[in-house]
A and B are shown apart, each in its own frame.
Chain A
Amino acid sequence: MGNVPTTVKHCLSYEQLIQDYPWLKRWLQEEKTITGHEYPDFVKIVEVGPRDGLQNEKEIVPTGVKIQLIDMLSGTGLPVIEATSFVSSKWVPQMADHSDVLRGIQRAPHVRYPVLTPNMQGFKDAVAAGATEVAVFGSASETFSKKNINCSIDESMLRFEEVINTAKEQQIPVRGYVSCALGCPHEGHIEPSKVSEVAKKLYAMGCYEISLGDTIGVGTPGSMLKMLQSVMEEVPAHALAVHCHDTYGQALPNILTALQMGVCVVDSAVAGLGGCPYAQGSSGNVSTEDVLYMLHGMGIETGVNLAKVIEAGDFICNALRRETNSKVAQATGRTL
């Protein structure tokens, strides 16, 4: 990290020291000095930059660049990297090269590479291209469901049931997403009970994990708390993840609230890739770098090397000819 002031490196390097020598933390019994709240020991980061991020970028990214990005991310310690989406290229041209990407990446051991599969066709193509984990995308808002995937929530659940049952037969784990968990661009307020209804269905069908997405980033710790309280009555905390958008700058406090509620899986995108299609010019996904900085600062382990994620973020921002959305990357002098 070239031009980072050495004193800031000192702050960051403490985390590095702990990462390199995990016994040091235990020796000093420094665990969990955060009084009054209980936090997970470890948080799993699900990196969605190559899929959710790039999908919402205007510039079409060449296949080679996508593959290089994923390979760089594979070297950071991230345990899950969402590689691509087997959706029709008619709808999402950015993901047209899904099979080439999946076949082209170097799969690191202990890293999972889920892909989106909106329907059976997508699922079959994904399996043919070597997918070993898939994801399905439901919505807590009827209007959003109709506008986004052209069918009602119930109809989409039937589609997903087919995918999940087939996946079960082939021992392929399925992750479920619920979008608009804290608000919808069309309907506005979304009842927490609706979110829990959809989450419950996906979980009951066999999704091993449900990622609750604040699709337009309007949520705050207040609405996050209420929504999680409702969902946790139906789905155990260990099977939940939060997918926060930073459109209103609320992502990190929302994630903090989720951690305090017992959630220990967080979705994020390197460099905060992906704008918001509902608020032109605004940001979308929360930056992986900023999430990591917060988690490491709280003594929560992730297994991820922040400096390497910053490098991957540099790479993709250069390729996209755009500035990073990550404040940590900006502060450590990684802008173009």
Chain B
Amino acid sequence: MATVMSLVNRRILSSAMGQKYVAYSSAAKAGVRAGQALPEKVKIVEVGPRDGLQNEKTIVPTETKIHLIDMLSATGLPVIEATSFVSPKWVPQMADQVEVMKGIGRKPGVSYPVLTPNLKGFQAALKAGASEVAIFGAASELFSKKNINCSVEESLQRFEVIMKAAKEAGVPVRGYVSCVLGCPYEGKVAPEKVAHVAKRLYSMGCYEISLGDTIGVGTPGSMIEMLEAVSKEVPVNALAVHCHDTYGQALANILIALQMGISVVDSSVAGLGGCPYAQGASGNVATEDVVYMLHGLGIQTGVDLSKLMDAGAYICRTLNRKTSSKVAQANCKL
């Protein structure tokens, strides 16, 4: 009954949305629609060294992290999320944040954002040489409370403090919204809630908002619904998608996002990082698989796929695990 009530409420809220099914037309028109308005270029934000490794059980030595980032820097990736200035008490994998930041070779033209959950983390990041940071909000109250121990509103207020400091320091800030297509505690998440949080982060001054399907439950259906709501509040060229492949839906979701005008995609080399909410399941979508799809669509990324696969092979050897990238799996035997 609760489901029915929420469906009814959604219906009232989204009366503009209910487009009736129209009989589909000839192949030529359908072809145009299927390939419509794809971006010429897509910026890939590589989150393997941070989001990926953060969700791997094995603690990775600092030198390995540095070597991975250096290998990724040589692939043509424009953005590589290097580490997280979160307390090592909470995330032991990121305890060597300062050494990593200081140890990597920074390729000109490549950005190395780091996560900064609070002002303290921001200040430490700046001191370690960070020139871009990221903040992490949630579209779900329960997730916010369980993950960062405060409500969504409280977290946004914390971020305002960071934004002020970042503006003064001339440091760009990227905003993340997690649980955009579902929450491990709340279940379905209202697109309007996602739009609200995205709007707040954008108005505060985040140059880009990455919308994360944290548990990978989204499908092209829920992705479109959510993007429609968010793009009413934030211009589409300031949006990115961060899809998890836990239910195998990531590439389909990314394709839909591209068709909606999104041209920034987060992914993780070798699909590093499992899902803490579905034991044994995968998490981040593999950068190799994303690049394969984009190149097949004639979309430029600037990324060298074979160098990327080398980086993936390296980190998997070190972690003693199999790659989660299907492209890597298919190629290694050739």
Contact = CB atoms under 8 A, between A and B. Distances in A.
Interface of A: 5-8, 10-11, 13-14, 17, 24, 28-41, 217, 219-223, 225, 228-229, 232-233, 237, 246-250, 252-253, 255-257, 260-262, 276, 279-283, 287, 290, 293-294, 296-299, 326-328, 330-333, 335
B246 interface: yes
B256 interface: yes
A41 B23 CA distance: 10
Interface of B: 3-4, 7-8, 11, 14, 17-25, 27-28, 30-31, 33-36, 182-188, 215-222, 224-225, 228, 245-249, 251-252, 254-256, 259-260, 275, 277-282, 286, 289, 292-293, 295-298, 325-327, 329-334
B11 A29 contact: yes
A221 B293 contact: yes
A299 B219 CA distance: 10
B330 A330 contact: no
Contacts of A31: 20-21
Contacts of A255: 252
Contact of A17 (B3, B17, B20, B186): B3
Contacts, number: 220
A278 to B, nearest CB: 9
A294 B219 contact: yes
B29 to A, nearest CB: 9
A290 B253 CA distance: 13
A297 B187 contact: no
B31 A228 contact: yes
16 contacts: A7-B184, A10-B188, A32-B22, A33-B225, A37-B33, A220-B296, A222-B297, A248-B330, A249-B293, A260-B30, A262-B30, A279-B329, A296-B219, A327-B245, A330-B281, A333-B278
A331 B219 contact: no
Contacts of B286: 249
A32 B297 contact: no
A332 B281 CA distance: 9
A249 B3 contact: no
Contacts of A32: 19-22
B248 A252 contact: yes
Contacts of A326: 248
> Which of A40, A252, A283: most chain B CB closer than 10 A?
A252
Given A11-B217, A32-B19, A290-B248, A225 B326 contact: no
B77 to A, nearest CB: 19
Contact of B221 (A7, A219, A299): A299
A282 B333 contact: yes
Contact of A35 (B3, B224, B245, B327): B224
A236 to B, nearest CB: 9
A247 B326 contact: yes
A262 B34 CA distance: 10
A271 B20 CA distance: 34
Nearest to A31: B21
Nearest to B218: A297
A33 B19 contact: yes
Given A33-B19, A217-B330, A8 B275 contact: no
A13 B327 contact: no
A335 B274 CA distance: 15
A41 to B, nearest CB: 7
Contacts of A221: 34-35, 255, 293, 296-297
B4 to A, nearest CB: 7
Closest 6 CB pairs of A and B: A220-B296, A297-B219, A232-B27, A249-B326, A327-B248, A10-B187
B327 A256 contact: no
Given A221-B296, A232-B27, A327-B282, A256 B247 contact: no
Contact of B326 (A237, A248, A330, A333): A248
A131 B159 CA distance: 67
B330 A247 contact: yes
Contacts of B33: 36-38, 260
A35 B187 CA distance: 24
A250 B18 contact: no
A298 B220 contact: yes
> Which of A237, A280, A331: most chain B CB closer than 10 A?
A331
B17 A33 contact: yes
Contacts of A17: 3
Given A5-B278, A17-B3, A36-B33, 15 more contacts: A8-B182, A11-B217, A14-B3, A217-B330, A228-B31, A248-B330, A252-B248, A261-B27, A261-B34, A279-B331, A279-B333, A282-B329, A298-B221, A299-B221, A327-B246
